[in-house]
A and B are shown apart, each in its own frame.
Chain A
Amino acid sequence: MLTAAKNQLKVTKLSIKYAVMREMLNKTTFVSNIIFMILNNACMIIQWIVLFSLKDNVGGYTFQQILLLWGMSSGVYGVAHFFFDKAFSLANTINSGKLDAYIVQPKNVLLSAITSNVKVSAIGDIIFAFVMYFIYGFNITTFILYILFLITGGLILVAVSIIFNSLSFWFNNTDMVSDTVNSLMVNFSTYPEGIFKGITKILLFTIIPVGIANYIPIKIITEFNIYLFIINISVCLLLILISFIIFYKGLKKYSSSNLMSARI
């Protein structure tokens, strides 16, 4: 069991390594993608400078905390899209019959499918996340927590995406649903929860778990709370488990489309 997990990790690592090498063939594009993504994220800080010139705090967040939220949000997105970019287009892989290539491999189908590509610009998101953290203030404990939450947040984002993308095994055109859920997760994650009320707030901690992936970590980093910490880790593990169950349940329904293609 342990050897199998170790082997799988090795394959996943190699898969990501070769995907990065592929992207690095054109170094100018590789570097410009990263730099421009950092600039792209930095542009949005202007929005908060304007809003904080109108009010001292927005949704209960100070400017420093907003920067940390932005960092967390881009870092979570970066981790999810750098390591597991294909999880966000899994519905397309299923619908077009491209899953065949992964089924014939003697490794975990889901992991092989979602780690077969990397999004270079996501490196820019991760760098931006750390820049925001250092502006907020460095402390060894919060730094370790921050890295941990970037990983748990990224995994939550990926798990939610797998769950909704896996609906493609049963229904048609579910890519629109999964795209919408993904964009909801990203859009809500960059705004403090204090501006939302009632049902929206409940949704942010349930169906669209932005609250667990982004808001709770900010609360923990600001003021450590063991219960919130346990909630974050447990929900992350639970969602990963659910995503695997749903994907493999759906995989039994999968039928090949006899698509002939070469993966280079």
Chain B
Amino acid sequence: MRKYAFIIKTQVMSNLQYVFNLIFNYISYFIILFIFFNIWQYIYSDSTNLINGYNLNQMTWYVVITEIIWMTLNGRKFCIQISNDVKSGNITYNINKPYNYIGYVLSTHLGDILIRIGIYSILGVLTGFLFLGRFPDLNIFSVIIVIITIFLALIISTLLITFIGLFSFFIEDSGPFYWVYSKLILVFGTMFPIEFFPSIIQKILNFSPVYVVSYGPAKLFVDFSWNNAISIIIAQLIYLAIAYLMCYLLYKKGVKKINVNGG
């Protein structure tokens, strides 16, 4: 584990050089939050109204949290990076190293995430407060649980995107698969809570990645309950194991297709 901790540390140190860029990039996300705040203000003509169990305050905070996860992940860039590693043959440099490739990409991405989650959480929460003028009702324990679920969500997402990126072993460009995956997560888990969909779709979403990578942490932030917290964390741990296994098996199968031509 020490070698992976070292990779994370190196990546964190490297990312500290680009803090200004991260803050500047936040402008795009601020605009998305601004658009959503305007939409929900329009839909909730009366801010005390409840729609599918959520008021305006909860809906806005829900989107803030899911967007923080979304922007921290920066999945598109990460997927392209893995896909390029495979396509360009750079992945061969990792085969003879004393670490597991999946562990390596997970560690490097976690190193990237650690700085981003810090900055985007602060800016995101300030944005939410700027729009609404108040924070949701949370205590120190619920905040700790929410933070744990956010980290688990980020690790699971990283593994799922790694899985998609590794498809490049079999088709040249796995990017299009990521577009569809990301749009499904965006529509079914980032923009709206699961309760906004028909009951049959809700049942499917409760077992889908949407529940663990997006809906779960945000739901706990806006409407905390210990029952929900336990079921979300259990689901996340199951998904974590499945996602890692899927990556491991796909990598094992894909790596056999590598041809080293020298150079």
Counting CB contacts under 8 A, is A58 at the interface?
Answer: yes
Contact A36 B35 (CB under 8 A): no
User: Which residues of chain B are within 8 angstroms of A184 by Cβ–Cβ distance?
Assistant: 28, 31
Counting CB contacts under 8 A, is A250 at the interface?
Answer: no
Counting CB contacts under 8 A, is A191 at the interface?
Answer: yes
**Given A29-B173, A59-B42, A191-B35: A50 in contact with B197 (beta carbons within 8 A):** yes
Contact A29 B180 (CB under 8 A): no
- Provide the B10-51 mask, 1 if CB < 8 A to any CB of A, else 0: 000000000001001101100110110011011100000001
Closest to A40 in B: B179
Q: Which B28-79 residues have a C-beta within 8 angstroms of A?
A: 28, 31-32, 34-35, 38-39, 41-43, 51
How many A-B contacts at CB < 8 Å in the complex? 84
Counting CB contacts under 8 A, is A46 at the interface?
Answer: yes
Contact A33 B172 (CB under 8 A): no
Min C-beta distance of B67 to chain A, whole Å:
12
- Of the residues A40, A46, A121, A187, contact of B35 by C-beta under 8 Å: A187
User: Which residues of chain A are within 8 angstroms of B24 by Cβ–Cβ distance?
Assistant: 176, 180
Contact B28 A43 (CB under 8 A): no
Contact B171 A28 (CB under 8 A): yes
Contact B187 A55 (CB under 8 A): no
Closest to B172 in A: A29
- Of the residues B38, B184, B192, contact of A195 by C-beta under 8 Å: B38
Whole-angstrom CA separation of A55 from B24 in the bound complex: 35
User: Which residues of chain B are within 8 angstroms of A197 by Cβ–Cβ distance?
Assistant: 38
Min C-beta distance of A145 to chain B, whole Å:
27
User: Which residues of chain B are within 8 angstroms of A187 by Cβ–Cβ distance?
Assistant: 28, 31-32, 35
Contact A46 B187 (CB under 8 A): yes
Whole-angstrom CA separation of A196 from B42 in the bound complex: 9
User: Which residues of chain B are within 8 angstroms of A64 by Cβ–Cβ distance?
Assistant: none
Counting CB contacts under 8 A, is B183 at the interface?
Answer: yes
Q: Which B180-201 residues have a C-beta within 8 angstroms of A?
A: 180, 183-184, 186-188, 191-192, 196-197
Counting CB contacts under 8 A, is A131 at the interface?
Answer: no
Whole-angstrom CA separation of A234 from B34 in the bound complex: 30
Whole-angstrom CA separation of A199 from B220 in the bound complex: 35
Contact A37 B31 (CB under 8 A): no
Whole-angstrom CA separation of A229 from B242 in the bound complex: 56
Whole-angstrom CA separation of A37 from B34 in the bound complex: 26
Contact A36 B177 (CB under 8 A): yes
Contact A29 B42 (CB under 8 A): no
- Provide the A49-88 mask, 1 if CB < 8 A to any CB of B, else 0: 0110011001100000000000000000000000000000
Counting CB contacts under 8 A, is B262 at the interface?
Answer: no
Whole-angstrom CA separation of A196 from B36 in the bound complex: 10
User: Which residues of chain A are within 8 angstroms of B21 by Cβ–Cβ distance?
Assistant: 176
Closest to B185 in A: A43
User: Which residues of chain B are within 8 angstroms of A58 by Cβ–Cβ distance?
Assistant: 39, 42-43
Q: List 8 A-B contacts (CB under 8 A).
A: A32-B171, A43-B187, A47-B187, A55-B43, A59-B42, A121-B176, A179-B28, A184-B31
Question: Could you tell me which B residues sit within 8 Å of A by CB distance?
Answer: 21, 24-25, 27-28, 31-32, 34-35, 38-39, 41-43, 51, 171-173, 175-177, 179-180, 183-184, 186-188, 191-192, 196-197
Q: Given A55-B43, A183-B28, A200-B38, 18 more contacts at CB 8 Å?
A: A26-B172, A32-B171, A36-B177, A36-B179, A36-B180, A39-B180, A43-B187, A44-B187, A46-B188, A47-B191, A50-B191, A54-B51, A58-B42, A179-B28, A183-B31, A187-B28, A187-B35, A195-B38
